[in-house]
Every structure is written in structure tokens, then in C-alpha cells.
Amino acid sequence: MTPVTPSGSVDESTTHDTGEDREGDGHHRVGKLGSVFWSSLGISALFVGWAVLFRENLNEVTTASLNWVTATFGWTYLVVTLAILVFLVFLAFSPTGEIRLGKDTDRPEFSTPTWFAMILSAVMGIGLVSYGVAEPISHLATPPHGLAEPNTPAAAVRALQYSYFDWGLHAWAIFAVFGLAIAYSTHRKGRRTLVSQLFVPLLGDRVNGPIGKAIDVLAVFATLFGTTTSLGLGALQVNNGLGTLFGIPVNSVTQVLIIAAVTAVFTLSAVTGVSKGIKFLSQGSSLLAVALFVFMLVVGPTVFVANLYIESMGRWATDFFRMSLQGTAFGGLEWMQMWTYFMMAWWVSWGAFVGVFLARISRGRTIRGFIMGVLVVPSVVFFTWFTVFGGTAIHLDLFQGGNIAKRTAADVNSAFFATLEHFPLAGITSVIAIILVVLFFVSGADANTYVLSMMTSDGSLTPRRPVLILWGVLTGVTAVVLMLAGGLTALQNTVIVTSLPFLVIIAGLAVSFWKELGADRKEKTDVAH
């Protein structure tokens, strides 16, 4: 597997051909470019050309596709993610949970606290700043599914309850099933790090033919659009923060310049393998996030936040299965497109990248330890972050005459900075928030560039430098054309539409993994007898 720094970025100083990279005939060249690379590149180039030359047509088609996909198949996001979550919990508590991700004699490479820190620093990302305040405060003003009156205590509880749902167990179940399947396939079975290789138990040798290639191309697209969505969100956040602090115009020109600058940095990082620098940035971003969290906990309405946390957790736990299966039979499609469907599509699109990272750092752990660690700890951290920042914004609006919900409705990217303005050292905390977004921006996109290059280089652990540069630039260009085509709406529409086929792949991947576990268990039993 790929050596990865705690940020999720690749430590290329230690990459080498481990043999996992070879076909059975032994002639597989490192970095071979085949049909997956050329197909992915060609279709990506066509998409960029479409967005540049026929912007209005792109918007019309993606909007129509979004409406059709979510109205017809939106329920599949709910059913598949819940089924995967139930499957993982079953695995964790079954005898299979004792199997190690690797040889039976392997033990974890990292201590458990370090392992948790690496998981969090890899995936926390831009979303915490983009949505830490924006989602709860939006739900306060417009309660989900009309479950409460706007701007009331009941709406406050519902706001956090649905934020927990969007950022909790379902998201981590998608990451966990990917990471588990990749870790088992590579560490225990010695296969290459490709999504298609996870289907060997179901498809056999056909994974090396057109079906396998199609699976890998879909994995590339899901990852590409997941990354561009994060890049777009990051640019909007940084632009808003700079506008608040220094009066820099909040417009598409500034956002394009921000994306261009960050693309240059993360592409350079991916190419040169400056792992120590990225590792330092990753650790720095974690420290800054903790400092900002503690600051808000101290200066904010701590007792109110603690009480709101307990009540919202209770409501979330009580309504868990109802929320997990709440569709749009009686309306609410637009709200689901904006929030739940978009979030789930985003998690699906990040599945391959996060799965590769989780597999890399989890060799030697048991299936049970992996599942419990990946599902529970990050969910609790996300819940706590959303409660402290979102709960503080809710308190400001409900009891101190704040207008954060109103400002968020006008521009969703202003929410975090609008909250910080109400507290001491607003200038300093806003600068920290901007730096956090940039650091998350660089480390996440750097790792994604590597994974895209690896997936289009036949699973090679050392993709060629031109391939890394190409995917870095293409990621930035795709983010720019989508931003110009329709801003956040275009990003959301595209990630939902492109992730749907990949949702089917995730469901198949879980079935394939279960089949492989069953076959291995039977083989072990036969040997024992």
C-alpha cells in the first residue's frame, strides 16, 4: 500500500515497488498507462470543454439530471448507506471481527491514539469550517421536513440532530467499508490497490477486462468530482474570510485566483513528495483546529452548548432509523438535494480516496477494531465540533439578537466568520479559520491527486510525475469551470449526479467482501478438520 503521511498525502520518499504492483506474469511496469488513464482523461477533457463552451447547456443538463436522479433514485442513498452500516456492525460483533487486516501475525503499525489522530487529520477537512456553523444555523431557520417552527428551541434541537445525521455514522460507514475491503484485498490477499480488484470474489478474472476497467474509470470520476467540490467550497470560504477581514471582493475572479494558487501548491507537493512539509502542515492544522475549538468552548455559551448537546444526541439516537429512511414521498426533495442527498453523494465520491488512506494506516488491526474505531471516534468528534460552533451560533440568534441565520441565507459561506465576529479576537480567529481551510485544502487535494494518479496508473505505488501534474491541473481546472458555470449549486449538482453509479459499486463491493470472508472462513474450517 501507499505510504501516506498523517494528512493523507503520499510520502514518496519511501515508495517503492513492493510486488503488490505486479501482474501474475511479472511483467507489469510501474506506472503503466492503459485504457483507464486514457478513458478517464478523455472524458474529463470533454467535460471541461463542455463547461467552457456550453455553460448554459451544462447547467440545464446537470439540473435536469439532478432532479431525475434524486426523484427516482434518491432513496438508494438512504437504503445503501444504512445497509452498509448494519453490515459493518454485524461484522464487528461476529467471529469474523477477530480476523486481522494482514497476516495473522501482523500487529498495528501505529498506536491507537496516533491512528485516531491520522484518521481525523485526513478527513476532517474543509467541511468543518464550511458547514460547522452553516448547516445547524440553516436548519434553525428552516427546520428539516417541517418538524419544528423556525427559530424556536425545538428547531435548535432538530438543527443539530440532522447535522449529526449528515456528518455521522452513515458517512463513516461508506469510508469504513471501502477501507476495510481495500485493506483486506491488499494486506491479506496481496492484490493491487485498485477498486476493480475488490471485485475478484464476484467477477474473478473479469476484473482485468472491460468490466474492471469501467469500475476503475467510475472510481476516478467519483474521486475527481468529490475533490473539485471540496476545492470549490474551500475557495468560497477563503474568499469570504478575506472579504470579511480585508475587504477583498467576493467574486468569481478572486475565487479562480484562489483555486489556481492552491492547485499550484498541492500539485507541486504531490510531485515533489515533500512529505515532511505536508506532515508538518497536517499536524499544524490539527493543533489550530483544537485551539479554535477550545477558544470557542471557553468564550461561548458553554453550559447552553453542553445541555443542547445532550438533548440533540438523545433526539438523534431516538429518531435514528426514521431519519435513515426518510424519503420524499410527500415532498421535501429540494431540501434533501441541498443537504442529505448532497452530503451522502459527497461521502460516496470521497470513498476511494479515504479508503486507500484508511487501509494504508490500518495494517495489522482486527476487523472489529477497525470498524469500531472508524465509525465511533470520528463521529463523536464531528458531533462535538458542530455542537460547539453551531450551538454557539444558535444561542446568538435565539437569545442575543444575532443575525447569523439571515447572513447564512444570503451567503452560506459567511456563517463561520459571522459567528466569530461576536467574540473577542475576531480578527485573529478569522485568520486562523482561513489558514485552517487552506491547510485542509492543500493536504486533502494533494492526497487526492496521488490517488487519482495511482488509479489511472494500474494501481502503481509510484505514478509518473507527468501523470501527477496532469491530475493536479485537471482537478483545479474542473473546479474553476464548475465555479464559473454556477458556483456552489453547480458543484453540488455535479457531485450528486456523478456519484450515483459509484453508489452501486459500493453496494457490490460490500457483497464481494462478504463473499470473500465467507470463502476464507470455509477454507480455514476445512483446513482445521
Taking only the tens place, the pLDDT of each residue in 400-416 is: 998 999 999 998 889 99
User: Model confidence at 22, in pLDDT bands (50, 70, 90)?
Assistant: very low
CB of 409 within 8 A of CB of 141?
yes
Inform me whether the pLDDT recorded for 172 exceeds 90. yes
Cα–Cα distances (Å) from 227 to 253, 354, 388, 443, 444, in that order, read: 20, 12, 27, 11, 8
The mean per-residue pLDDT over the stretch 89-103 comes to 93
Q: How far is Cα 375 from Cα 312, in angstroms, rounded to an integer?
A: 19
CB of 236 within 8 A of CB of 416?
no
Q: How far is Cα 403 from Cα 398, in angstroms, rounded to an integer?
A: 9
Q: Which of 347, 345, 330, 319 is nearest to 76 (CA)?
A: 345
Query: What is the percent of the chain where pLDDT is above 90?
Result: 60
Q: How far is Cα 134 from Cα 419, in angstroms, rounded to an integer?
A: 10
Inform me whether the pLDDT recorded for 276 exceeds 70. no
Q: How far apart are the first and last CA of the chain?
A: 34
User: Model confidence at 282, in pLDDT bands (50, 70, 90)?
Assistant: low
The mean per-residue pLDDT over the stretch 278-292 comes to 78
Between 268 and 373, the more confident residue is 373
Write out pLDDT tens, residues 51-93: 889 888 988 998 999 999 999 999 999 999 999 999 999 999 9
Q: Map out the domains of the chain with their CATH numbers.
A: 30-521 (1.20.1740.10)
Q: How far is Cα 171 from Cα 192, in angstroms, rounded to an integer?
A: 25
Per-residue pLDDT at 18: 35
Per-residue pLDDT at 3: 33
Residue 193's SS3 state is coil
Tell me which range, 38-42, 359-363, 442-446, is most confidently predicted by mean pLDDT.
Answer: 38-42
pTM: 0.89
Phi-psi region of 401 (alpha: psi -120 to 50; beta: other; left: phi over 0): left
Per-residue pLDDT at 277: 56
Q: Which three cell numbers stand for residue 410?
A: 444570503
Inform me whether the pLDDT recorded for 142 exceeds 80. yes
- Residue for cell digits 463547461? 51
Per-residue pLDDT at 292: 95
User: Model confidence at 25, in pLDDT bands (50, 70, 90)?
Assistant: very low
Q: How far is Cα 461 from Cα 445, in angstroms, rounded to an integer?
A: 18
Inform me whether the pLDDT recorded for 162 exceeds 90. yes
Per-residue pLDDT at 8: 38
The mean per-residue pLDDT over the stretch 413-433 comes to 94
User: Model confidence at 13, in pLDDT bands (50, 70, 90)?
Assistant: very low
Inform me whether the pLDDT recorded for 23 exceeds 80. no
Inform me whether the pLDDT recorded for 219 exceeds 60. yes
Query: Which residue blocks in 400-464 are alpha helix, DSSP H?
Result: 404-410, 415-420, 426-455
Q: Which of 179-193, 456-470, 515-529 has the lowest mean pLDDT?
A: 515-529
CB of 1 within 8 A of CB of 356?
yes
- Residue for cell digits 475587504? 247
The mean per-residue pLDDT over the stretch 303-325 comes to 97
User: Model confidence at 124, in pLDDT bands (50, 70, 90)?
Assistant: low
CB of 392 within 8 A of CB of 39?
no
- Residue for cell digits 505536508? 278
The mean per-residue pLDDT over the stretch 42-57 comes to 90
Q: Which of 68, 122, 151, 109 is nearest to 404 (CA)?
A: 151
Please tell me the total number of residues recorded for the chain in this structure. Answer: 529
Inform me whether the pLDDT recorded for 396 exceeds 50. yes
The mean per-residue pLDDT over the stretch 322-328 comes to 93
Cα–Cα distances (Å) from 281 to 255, 258, 374, 474, in that order, read: 22, 18, 23, 24
Between 527 and 504, the more confident residue is 504
Q: How far is Cα 132 from Cα 125, in angstroms, rounded to an integer?
A: 11
Between 302 and 285, the more confident residue is 302
- Around Cβ 398, how many Cβ atoms within 10 Å? 17
Angle at 499 between CA 496 and CA 500, to 5 degrees: 90
Write out pLDDT tens, residues 235-268: 999 999 999 889 999 899 999 999 999 999 888 8
The mean per-residue pLDDT over the stretch 449-467 comes to 88
Q: How far is Cα 408 from Cα 413, in angstroms, rounded to an integer?
A: 7
Which residues, in sequence order, are CB contacts of 478 under 8 Å at separation 6+? 44, 47, 48, 51, 224, 225, 228
CB of 388 within 8 A of CB of 128?
no
Q: How far is Cα 165 from Cα 320, in angstroms, rounded to an integer?
A: 8
Write out pLDDT tens, residues 143-159: 999 999 999 999 999 99
Query: What is the percent of the chain where pLDDT is above 70?
Result: 91
Radius of gyration of the chain (CA): 22
Q: Which three cell numbers stand for residue 19?
A: 510486488
Angle at 326 between CA 375 and CA 166, to 5 degrees: 35
Beta bridge mates, 4 = 10
Inform me whether the pLDDT recorded for 17 exceeds 80. no
Q: Which three cell numbers stand for residue 434?
A: 482561513
DSSP state of 10: B
Long-range contacts of 39-42 (CB under 8 A, 24+ apart): 39/213, 39/217, 40/217, 40/220, 40/221, 40/224, 40/456, 41/456, 41/470, 41/474
The mean per-residue pLDDT over the stretch 455-473 comes to 89
Q: Which of 19, 156, 83 is nearest to 325 (CA)?
A: 83
Inform me whether the pLDDT recorded for 112 exceeds 50. yes
DSSP state of 456: T
